[in-house]
C-alpha cells in the first residue's frame, strides 16, 4: 500500500475528505422531516438497509453507546417511526422495526435528495459524469470499511 500522507496523494486525500464532508453537509439539508436529527435519520436508514435489529446491534452499527441508542429508539418510537417488539429467541431483549410511516418518509427523503443531487450532476460534462459514475462503487466501499 502506498504512503498516502505525503505529496500528491496527501493532497488527493485532503481534497476527498473536504469534498465528501461538504457534499454530505449539503445533502443533510435536503431533509423531508426537519424534526428528526441526522442521527435519527441514520438509524432509520440502517433499519431500512439491514432490517430489524436490537438496540445493541443498532448502537454498534451507528457507532454510539447503547444508552444513547436507547434514547434515540425511544424518540423514534414516540414519533411513530419504529416499534419495539419481543425478540423472537430471547424474550429479555427487544427488536426495533421501522413502521410504514418511516418507510414512506425515507422514500420521500431519498427521492428529494436524489433529485437535488441529480440537478447538481446535470451541471457536469459527460467526462466528469463518467468519472463520478466510475467512482461511486469505490466511494461506497470506502464508506463501509
- The CATH number of residue 91's host domain is 1.10.10.10
DSSP state of 34: T
pTM, two decimals, is 0.75
* Cα-based distances in Å from 53 to 48, 66, 98, 106: 10, 13, 10, 18
Residue 13 domain-assigned? Answer: no
Kindly state whether residue 6 falls inside one of the protein's structural domains. no
For the chain, what is the radius of gyration of the CA atoms? 19
For residues 37 and 143, give the distance between their C-alpha atoms in angstroms, rounded to a whole number. 20
Range of the domain at 72: 19-143
Element (H, E) at 35: none
pLDDT digits (tens, 9 = 90+) for 62-118: 999 999 999 999 999 999 999 999 988 888 889 999 999 999 999 998 999 999 999
DSSP structure class, residue 99: -
Percentage of residues in the chain having pLDDT higher than 90: 67
- Specify if 9 maps to a domain: no
Amino acid at each position: 500500500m502506498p504512503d498516502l500522507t505525503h505529496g500528491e496523494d496527501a493532497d488527493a486525500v485532503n481534497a476527498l475528505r473536504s469534498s465528501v464532508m461538504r457534499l454530505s453537509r449539503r445533502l443533510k439539508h435536503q431533509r423531508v422531516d426537519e424534526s428528526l436529527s441526522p442521527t435519527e435519520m441514520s438509524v432509520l436508514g440502517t433499519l431500512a438497509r439491514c432490517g430489524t435489529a436490537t438496540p445493541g446491534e443498532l448502537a454498534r452499527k451507528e457507532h454510539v453507546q447503547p444508552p444513547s441508542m436507547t434514547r434515540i429508539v425511544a424518540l423514534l418510537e414516540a414519533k411513530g417511526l419504529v416499534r419495539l417488539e419481543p425478540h423472537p429467541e430471547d424474550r429479555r431483549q427487544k427488536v426495533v422495526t421501522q413502521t410504514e410511516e418511516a418507510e414512506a418518509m425515507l422514500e420521500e427523503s431519498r427521492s428529494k435528495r436524489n433529485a437535488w443531487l441529480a440537478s447538481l450532476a446535470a451541471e457536469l460534462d459527460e467526462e466528469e459524469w463518467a468519472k463520478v459514475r466510475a467512482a461511486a462503487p469505490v466511494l461506497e466501499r470506502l464508506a463501509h470499511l
